[in-house]
Amino acid sequence: MHRFHALLAVIALVVAAPVFAAAPQPWPWKSKAPPDPALATLSHIDDVTASAAAGTVSVAVNAMAPAPGYTELQLVSRMGDPNDRIFAFDARGRPPQEVTTQVLTPVTIEVSYADAPIAKLEVIEVYSNDNCLAYSLKDSKPVGCTSRAVPQKPGDVP
């Protein structure tokens, strides 16, 4: 009987999982909200992938945080040339409130953006404190970072 209840619980979780999945966020360059000054740029980017379909762009970033306990991991848009077809982000997160040992810690950021200008979008760049990695949506492969985008400062509007 316990197996039956466990099986029902697993089925309910699998069926409900899409409900718990995060809804796509609005395209960052349409937002008027300034960046959160409490978010710190992550230490290193290990990998970036992206895909686009039906007006939604999905980006996945494997990175290193400077210490364990970083929360609210997100991509923050950078200011750049709106005509270069490159959309650049900073990988950021909220540092832990407690004092922790500074040891690089792997983290993952996965986000989908709705209403993306897919026709104008060719490359996604993601910056950290010590490197930048880019992914070409046009060619479906990693490429080098080439934009001159600059990080936003608190009070800037994208």
pLDDT tens readout for residues 17-65: 333 457 898 888 887 788 899 999 999 999 999 999 888 999 999 999 9
Tell whether 54 is covered by a domain.
Answer: yes
Tell whether 1 is covered by a domain.
Answer: no
Q: Which residue range is the domain that position 127 belongs to?
A: 24-143
Tell whether 9 is covered by a domain.
Answer: no
What is the CATH number for 36?
Answer: 2.60.40
Tell whether 18 is covered by a domain.
Answer: no
Residue 20: its pLDDT value, please? Answer: 40
Euclidean distance between CA atoms 32 and 88, whole angstroms: 17
Q: Please write the tens of the pLDDT for every residue from 108-154.
A: 999 999 988 888 889 999 999 999 999 999 999 999 999 887 887 65
Tell whether 95 is covered by a domain.
Answer: yes
CA dihedral sign of residues 64, 81, 25, 31: positive
Number of domain units in the chain: 1
Tell whether 98 is covered by a domain.
Answer: yes
- The pTM for the full model equals 0.81
Tell whether 10 is covered by a domain.
Answer: no
Tell whether 151 is covered by a domain.
Answer: no
Residue 2: its pLDDT value, please? Answer: 47
Cα–Cα nearest to 121, from 134, 109, 107, 108: 134
